[in-house]
Amino acid sequence: MNRDYKRVLTVQDISCFGQCSLTVALPVISACGVETVILPSAVLSTHTGGFSGFTFRDLTDDIPAITAHWCKENIKFDAIYTGYLGSKRQIDMVKDMFASLGKEGFVKVVDPAMADNGKLYTGFDNEYAREMATLCAQADIVLPNITEACFMTGFEYAEEYGEEYIETLLQALAAYGMNNVVLTGVSYEKDFTGVVVKYDGRVKYYKHRRVPTSSHGTGDVFASAFVGALMNGFDEYDSARIAADFTLECIELTVGDENHKYGVKFELAIPELIKMLGK
């Protein structure tokens, strides 16, 4: 019997329809055999990509009482993983969680979900990006894409680049205190993409075939699988490799379905993820 039963807290929004954020994180991390506790930062009827008229309820004011209750009950976590945070105030609240809710030696993982393709998401600005950089500086592992890394550091965004550009971007992140980084969406070749993993003073690149399509929620799929693998004892590189392969599988299972443009069919790929973990 495996008695090494881990507990993860994930803090991000619930988009009730759309296969992203907590509706991805909870099932994916749980499928990895990890107790998954959620703290919703907001509730939306759908995610914001491609939908109009969605409902939104900000839960910021509920967060302090939830965390205070957990502290009173001495509820602690082996890892705290954050995704989409809706405001600078929520960023500050996560910093408080880092200080009060972790077990000894717990892992802090931050996905600074705020930008892609050279642009910030709606509702975010450069001031928010700078605040997110201070949270990432407190994390043990950060999971930015290239756009997010650029906004946090003021580094110039480029759509075409080589290895020197990525090396310099990693140095810029390190200057802000981000030393263990999984940089996603790194593509040196037309038909391939992948992740650059900087950890324990090493830098390694894992590439896989590029699917010529874009899908909502794949960043959340990747980050959740990464955390699940990490909690199963894999190091940063192997966790990123597993997460990348799982995300690719999810995309490939969805390509061609014109009625499923709002997310990826990650549920169908969960058995493959379990195999990747050796379970």
Judge whether 258 lies within some domain.
yes
Judge whether 167 lies within some domain.
yes
Judge whether 124 lies within some domain.
yes
Q: Give residue-wise pLDDT tens across range 132-167.
A: 999 999 999 999 999 999 999 999 999 999 999 999
Q: Where do we find the tokens 């055999």?
A: 33
Average pLDDT over residues 97-124: 96
Q: Give residue-wise pLDDT tens across range 74-97.
A: 999 999 999 999 899 999 999 999
Least confident of 1-10, 79-88, 147-156, 177-186: 1-10
Give the CATH number, domain containing residue 78.
3.40.1190.20
Q: Examine the pLDDT at 3 and tell me if it is beyond 80.
A: no
Phi, psi (rounded to 5 degrees) for 266: -65, -25
CA distance 254 to 262: 10
Long-range contacts of 189-194 (CB under 8 A, 24+ apart): 194/244
Average pLDDT over residues 30-53: 94
Average pLDDT over residues 251-268: 94
Average pLDDT over residues 114-132: 95
Instruction: Name the residue range of residue 28's domain.
Output: 7-274
Judge whether 13 lies within some domain.
yes
Judge whether 266 lies within some domain.
yes
Q: Examine the pLDDT at 2 and tell me if it is beyond 60.
A: no
CA distance 232 to 168: 31
Judge whether 2 lies within some domain.
no
Q: Which amino acid is at 52?
A: S
In this predicted structure, what is the pLDDT of residue 213?
80
Report the percent of the chain where pLDDT is more than 70. Answer: 99
The pTM of the full predicted model, rounded to 2 decimals, is 0.96
Q: Examine the pLDDT at 268 and tell me if it is beyond 60.
A: yes
User: How many folded domains does the chain comprise?
Assistant: 1
Average pLDDT over residues 1-22: 90
CA distance 192 to 158: 17
In this predicted structure, what is the pLDDT of residue 1?
42
Judge whether 60 lies within some domain.
yes
